[in-house]
């Protein structure tokens, strides 16, 4: 089991006292694709970042179990965490425009990520960067390697980010809204690419998204989060038959061409969901 999480709680200090952003989240992840869905502020991203211990210093994190491949994240030293972050577990962020270094070429950034873990020469790193760019299905790899982030399209930038995360051969890939800034055609290409890489390399994938139809087609399992809790977990193929009223509400708010509605319904929230 790559990730084991039981009763994870994350709180932040506020003028009114401690505010719980994540409340008792439990989930596991092996060599599979797990989707985490829910509206903004439901705790998806910070739950995933807790696995890599990438939360702000003021965050108060408690958990009965929080492990990566048997390593206790709560008590691991910073040296152990550096061996996990980037090397054994990669994080793909939402928008390449803000996540890539604007004053380094794409190839230099990938080569730097490779050298940090593989400790090879500059020439070996440059060759590895070209190979990784070809793995993410970029055709003119030398041109893209020499380009700066502002010279790349959104889809190209996202492929460069994926190549950087794949450089150290990770066992876990956390993708935080990796296609939200892309159009529908490029979204499909990036997801097909990630699916192929995950299955070919035998990795675990945690996909954080707002897009329920996308997650239902792409993932193996789905965890639905509301107000810092997992309210429902089910197989991706069963998502359309979800039973929790919050999940049903999210699905019913989606526009559809097969059953058009004059007005999309507004979700009625039940205070009992917070209990």
The reply to whether 251 falls in a domain is: no
Residuewise pLDDT in 10s, the chain (275 residues): 899 999 999 999 999 999 999 999 999 999 899 999 998 899 999 999 999 999 999 999 999 999 999 999 999 999 999 889 878 998 888 776 778 899 999 999 999 988 887 778 889 999 999 999 988 888 899 999 999 999 998 888 888 988 888 888 889 999 988 877 667 777 777 778 778 878 888 889 999 988 888 888 889 999 999 999 999 999 998 988 899 999 998 888 888 777 787 888 888 888 888 87
**pLDDT at 181 (0 to 100):** 64
- 105 and 2 part of one domain: no
d(CA 169, CA 95): 22
pLDDT (0 to 100) of residue 172: 92
C-alpha 209/C-alpha 37 separation (Å) is: 5
Instruction: Kindly give the pairing relationship between strand 65-68 and strand 71-72.
Output: antiparallel
pLDDT value, residue 93: 80
Q: Looking at the domain assignment, is residue 265 inside a domain?
A: no
Domain housing 231: 1-88+171-237
Question: What 3-state DSSP class applies to 39?
Answer: coil
pLDDT at 157: 87
Strand partners, 223: 36, 233
Collapsing DSSP to helix, strand or coil, 108 comes out as helix
In this structure, are 157 and 181 located in the same domain?
Answer: no
Within-domain flag for 136: yes
The answer to whether residue 264 is domain-embedded is no
Q: What is the 3-state secondary structure (H, E, C) of 214-232?
A: HHHHHCCEEEEEECCEEEE
Question: Looking at the structure, do residues 18 and 39 belong to the same domain, yes or no?
Answer: yes
164 and 203 inside one domain: no
Residue 202 contacts residue 175 (beta carbons within 8 Å): no
Q: State whether the Cα torsion 183-189-191-194 is positive or negative.
A: negative
Q: Please identify which residue in the block is written with the tokens 């559809």.
A: 256
| Kind of pairing between the strands at 221-226 and 33-37 | parallel
For residue 151, the model assigns a pLDDT of 93
Q: How many structural domains is the chain composed of?
A: 2
């Amino acid at each position: 089991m790559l990730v084991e999480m039981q009763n994870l709680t994350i709180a932040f200090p506020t003028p009114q006292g401690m505010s719980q952003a994540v409340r008792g989240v439990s989930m596991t992840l092996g060599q599979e694709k797990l989707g985490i869905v829910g509206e903004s502020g439901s705790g998806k991203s910070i739950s995933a970042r807790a696995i890599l211990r990438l939360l702000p210093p003021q965050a108060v994190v408690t958990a009965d179990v929080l492990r990566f491949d048997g390593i206790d994240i709560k008590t691991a030293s910073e040296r152990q965490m550096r061996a996990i972050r980037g090397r054994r577990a990669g994080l793909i962020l939402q928008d390449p425009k803000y996540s890539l270094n604007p004053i380094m070429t794409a190839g230099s950034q990938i080569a730097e990520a490779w050298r940090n873990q593989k400790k090879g020469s500059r020439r070996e790193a440059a060759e590895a960067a070209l190979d990784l760019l070809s793995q993410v299905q970029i055709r003119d790899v030398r041109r893209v390697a020499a380009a700066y982030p502002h010279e790349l399209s959104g889809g190209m930038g996202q492929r460069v980010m994926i190549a950087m995360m794949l450089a150290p051969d990770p066992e876990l890939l956390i993708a935080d809204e990796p296609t939200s800034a892309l159009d529908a055609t490029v979204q499909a290409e990036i997801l097909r690419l990630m699916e192929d890489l995950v299955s070919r390399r035998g990795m675990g994938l945690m996909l954080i998204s707002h897009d329920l139809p996308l997650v239902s087609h792409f993932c193996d399992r789905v965890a639905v989060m509301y107000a810092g809790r997992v309210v429902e977990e089910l197989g991706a193929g069963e998502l359309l038959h979800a039973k929790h009223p919050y999940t049903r509400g999210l699905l019913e708010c989606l526009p559809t061409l097969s059953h058009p509605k004059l007005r999309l319904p507004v979700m009625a929230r039940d205070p009992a969901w917070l209990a």
